[in-house]
């Protein structure tokens, strides 16, 4: 196989500077900061690098050092507005720490997930952050990850053997429901997310707990985690005696519920109070503004990346990290007349 003369390599730099490749490497490598290269030699090398537009090949370096400075980020779907801030958090922390991020959208499809995990292992990523917690259904992979020393961090779900970051969805939803009960509401319906989502399940559980504690019967709907799901679920609740309050498993569903209520001629909060979850930017811009549980999504991402970094540094496995939520009171809730 003939040498590819096009891509400039460390040899070309060495030749241009009249030194050996070892010297070029020493000039570039942070590891050899203590190793002395004569000032004049260093200058020649630096000049050659600039003249040739040389960029070291991280593949070769990674092959040798057994680390790629690359991580995988696995999530259901970046189009779900919940994820972009999280991705941003991961990516910001990653680039700050010198890692690249490979993005993988699984749609919670086991086949896709398996394919992505495979490709990440083949790329020898140093670690993987899994958000949306659909890893447990893949019995084969823990072993492969272990074989290739791939560190794992879970976000949003209690990772059994792995570090994890999440918010306490159950407690937060319990609080939100309690708040509605405190306002005098008794007919409180819960618009829940899909059964496959652990977040949705955790939030449902919190709601049930609060309702049970107040000895109130619960009305629940299962729907998609978006405006459409919220719209349909809300509509289906408006026949007969409508609830006086709606607790939604996320803000998008709440926006859908707003639309359904408006279409039914019901006013928020005069007729029906509404609470959302996540506090996406739009929550402050709908009218009336939406009372919702603020989730520090960006921070979740940052924290996940930091945990991964810790794991890669060889720190002992950390306790699950729990980030705080906050109920943001806005205009969509009223005391029951």
Partner DNA sequence: TTGTAAGCGTTATCAC
Partner DNA sequence: GTGATAACGCTTACAA
**Residues making contact with a second copy (CB under 8 A):** 1, 4, 6-8, 52-53, 55-60, 62-64, 66, 68, 70, 73, 77-81, 83-85, 87-88, 91-92, 95, 100-105, 112, 115-116, 118-119, 121-124, 143-144, 147-149, 226-228, 231, 252, 255-256, 258-259, 262-263, 281-282, 284-287
Which one of DNA, a second copy, none is in contact with 40 (Cβ closer than 5 to 8 A by kind)?
A: DNA
Which one of DNA, a second copy, none is in contact with 206 (Cβ closer than 5 to 8 A by kind)?
A: none
The CB-of-231 to a second copy minimum distance in angstroms stands at 7
Which one of DNA, a second copy, none is in contact with 258 (Cβ closer than 5 to 8 A by kind)?
A: a second copy
The CB-of-106 to DNA minimum distance in angstroms stands at 25
Identify the sign of the CA torsion 60, 64, 69, 74: positive
Q: Which of 101, 181 has the CB closer to a second copy?
A: 101
Which one of a second copy, DNA, none is in contact with 161 (Cβ closer than 5 to 8 A by kind)?
A: none
Q: Which of 219, 264 has the CB closer to a second copy?
A: 264
Q: How far is CA 171 from CA 39, 53, 178, 214, 280, in A?
A: 62, 55, 10, 15, 20
CA dist 137 and 150 (Å) reads 18
Which one of a second copy, DNA, none is in contact with 3 (Cβ closer than 5 to 8 A by kind)?
A: DNA
Q: Which of 195, 263 has the CB closer to a second copy?
A: 263
Q: Which of 7, 322 has the CB closer to a second copy?
A: 7
| Helical pair 251-263 and 227-237, crossing angle rounded to 10 deg | 50
Which one of DNA, a second copy, none is in contact with 236 (Cβ closer than 5 to 8 A by kind)?
A: none
The CB-of-38 to DNA minimum distance in angstroms stands at 3
Q: Which of 211, 246 has the CB closer to a second copy?
A: 246
Structure-block tokens of residue 267: 């006013």
Which one of DNA, a second copy, none is in contact with 315 (Cβ closer than 5 to 8 A by kind)?
A: none
Asked if the bond preceding 249 is cis, omega within 30° of 0, the reply is: no
The CB-of-39 to DNA minimum distance in angstroms stands at 8
Interface residues toward DNA, by CB under 7 A: 1-4, 7, 9-11, 18-23, 25-26, 28-29, 31-32, 35-38, 40-42, 54-57, 59-61, 63-66
Q: Which of 56, 142 has the CB closer to DNA?
A: 56
Q: Which of 121, 282 has the CB closer to DNA?
A: 121
> Taking a C-beta distance cutoff of 8 angstroms, is the pair 159, 182 a contact?
no
Determine whether 39 is exposed, middle or buried from the number of CB atoms within 10 Å of its CB (0-12, 13-18, 19+): exposed
Which one of a second copy, DNA, none is in contact with 29 (Cβ closer than 5 to 8 A by kind)?
A: DNA
Q: Which of 55, 335 has the CB closer to DNA?
A: 55
């Amino acid at each position: 196989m003939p040498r590819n003369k096009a891509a400039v390599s460390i040899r070309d730099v060495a030749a241009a500077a009249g030194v050996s490749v070892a010297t070029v490497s020493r000039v570039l490598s942070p590891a050899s900061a203590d190793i002395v290269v004569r000032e004049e030699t260093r200058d020649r090398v630096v000049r050659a690098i600039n003249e040739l537009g040389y960029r070291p090949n991280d593949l070769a370096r990674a092959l040798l050092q057994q680390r790629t400075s690359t991580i995988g980020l696995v999530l259901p779907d970046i189009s779900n507005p919940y994820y972009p801030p999280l991705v941003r958090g991961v990516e910001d922390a990653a680039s700050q720490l010198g890692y690249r991020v490979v993005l993988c959208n699984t749609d919670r499809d086991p086949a896709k997930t398996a394919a992505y995990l495979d490709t990440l292992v083949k790329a020898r990523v140093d670690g993987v952050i899994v958000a949306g917690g659909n890893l447990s259904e893949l019995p084969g992979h823990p072993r492969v990850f272990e074989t290739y020393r791939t560190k794992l961090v879970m976000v949003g779900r209690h990772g059994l053997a792995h570090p994890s970051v999440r918010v306490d969805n159950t407690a937060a939803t319990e609080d939100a429901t309690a708040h509605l009960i405190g306002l005098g509401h008794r007919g409180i319906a819960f618009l829940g997310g899909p059964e496959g989502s652990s977040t949705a399940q955790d939030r449902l559980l919190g709601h049930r707990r609060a309702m049970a504690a107040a000895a109130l019967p619960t009305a629940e709907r299962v729907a998609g985690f978006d405006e459409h799901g919220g719209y349909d679920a809300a509509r289906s609740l408006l026949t007969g005696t409508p609830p006086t309050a709606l607790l939604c498993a996320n803000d998008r569903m709440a926006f859908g519920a707003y639309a359904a209520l408006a279409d039914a001629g019901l006013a928020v909060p005069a007729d029906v109070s509404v609470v959302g979850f996540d506090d996406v930017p739009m929550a402050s811009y709908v009218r009336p503004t939406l009372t919702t549980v603020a989730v520090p999504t960006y921070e979740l991402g940052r924290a996940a990346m930091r945990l991964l970094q810790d794991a890669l540094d060889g720190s002992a496995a950390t306790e699950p990290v729990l980030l705080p939520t906050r109920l943001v009171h806005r205009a969509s809730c009223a005391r029951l007349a």
